[in-house]
Amino acid sequence: MTYEVLAGALVGLGLFLLIRALIPGRPDPMAAIARIDALRQHTSLGPQQDQAPPKGLAKLREDLGASMNDFYIRQGWQIRSLRADLAILDRSVEQFLAAKLLLAALGIIFGPFVFAAVYVLGLHLTPTIPVWLALLFGGVFFLLPDLEVKGQAAEKRRDFRRVLGAYLDLVAMNLAGGRGLPEALMAAAEVSDGWALRRIRDALTDARVTGISQWNALSQLGDALDVDELKDLGAALALVAEDGAKVRESLAARAETMRHRELSEIEGAAGAKSQSMLVAQMLLCAGFMVFLLYPAMARVMGSI
C-alpha cells in the first residue's frame, strides 16, 4: 500500500509541475526589453563571417540552451544569483542550462545501469527501484553544475575584492597626482591586464561610448557581478564626485577597510584550519593509544 501511495503522490507532483511549467508566468519588462535590444544588435551587426556556425553536438547544445533560456524568460524565472555567478565566470547562460539538462538526462540513464549492475551481482530488488534510482541520479546530476558554479563564483569574487582594494589605492594615487576622477579611474584600470581590471576597464570604456557616468557604470558592473563593494563604490563616487579631496579620502578609507576585512577573513580561515588539524592530531593520538593498550587489555581480559 505504501508503494502505491508514493507512486500516486509522485505522479500527482509531476502533473502539477508540468501544468505549472506550461502556464506562462508574468513576463518581466526588463527581460523583454533586454531581449529586444539583443535581437536588434544581432540584426544590425549581421552574420559573422569569421566564425563558422556550430555543427553536430555543439549545434544541438546551443539550440537546447537557447530554448531553455527562452522558456525561463517566458515563465518569469529571473535566477539573478545564477546569472551573476555565470557573469563573473564569463560563461554563457545558454550553455549552462544545456549542460544541466544533458547531465540530468545522463543521470536518468545512469540510474537503471546501477540497478542492472547490482542485479548482476546477485542482489534482487523490487522493480520500482530503477525508477527511484533514475529520479535520484537525474536530480543529483541536475544540481551538480549549480554547486560547481557557486563555488567557482565565490572564489572569483574573493579575487575580485582583492584586486578592487589595490585598484582603489591606485585611483587615490592618481587623484593625488592631480588627475581628475574619470582619468584616474581609467588610468588605474590600465595598469594590469588581469581579468578583474579588464572587466572594470571595459565597463569604463562602455560608459564613455554610451554616455553614462563612470560611477554608474561601476554600479552596473557590481549589480551584474553581484559584488557589493563595487556597487557601494559607485554610489559613493556619485555623491562626492565633484570634490577631489573627499574622493581621495573616501577611496583610501575604503581600500584600508577592504584590506582589514581580507586580513580578518584570512585569519579566520587559518584559525579554522588550525582547529581541524588539532582535531586530527587528537584522533591520531587516540588511535595510537588504543593500538598500544589493546594487547595488554586483551591479555588481561583473557586471563580473567
CA distance 80 to 85: 9
Using one digit for the tens of pLDDT, what is the confidence trace for 235-287?
888 777 666 567 777 787 888 888 888 788 788 878 878 888 888 888 889 88
Do the domain assignments include residue 166?
yes
What share of the chain has pLDDT > 90, as a percent?
A: 4
Q: C-alpha dihedral over 216, 218, 221, 227, to 10 degrees?
A: -120
Domain count along the chain? 1
Q: What per-residue confidence (pLDDT) applies to 25?
A: 55
Q: What is the pLDDT of residue 42?
A: 45
- 271 in any annotated domain: no
Does 18 have pLDDT greater than 70?
no
- 185 within some domain: yes
Phi–psi pair at 91, nearest 5 degrees: -120, 155
In a domain, 207, yes or no: yes
Higher pLDDT, 8 or 23: 8
Is 195 inside any structural domain? yes
In a domain, 182, yes or no: yes
- Per the structure, the complete domain to which residue 218 belongs is given by 160-249
Higher local confidence (pLDDT), 176 or 240: 176
pLDDT of 224 above 60: yes
What's the confidence (pLDDT) of residue 244?
A: 57
Question: Per-residue pLDDT averaged across 192-203, rounded?
Answer: 89
Read off the pLDDT of residues 45-102 as tens digits, 9 standing for 90 and up. Answer: 344 444 455 566 677 778 788 888 887 777 777 788 888 899 899 888 888 988 898 8
Whether residue 184 lies inside any domain: the answer is: yes
Q: Is the pLDDT of residue 167 over 70?
A: yes
pLDDT 10s digits, 94-126 = 889 888 988 888 888 888 888 788 777 777 667
Distance CA 56, CA 62 (A): 10
In a domain, 273, yes or no: no
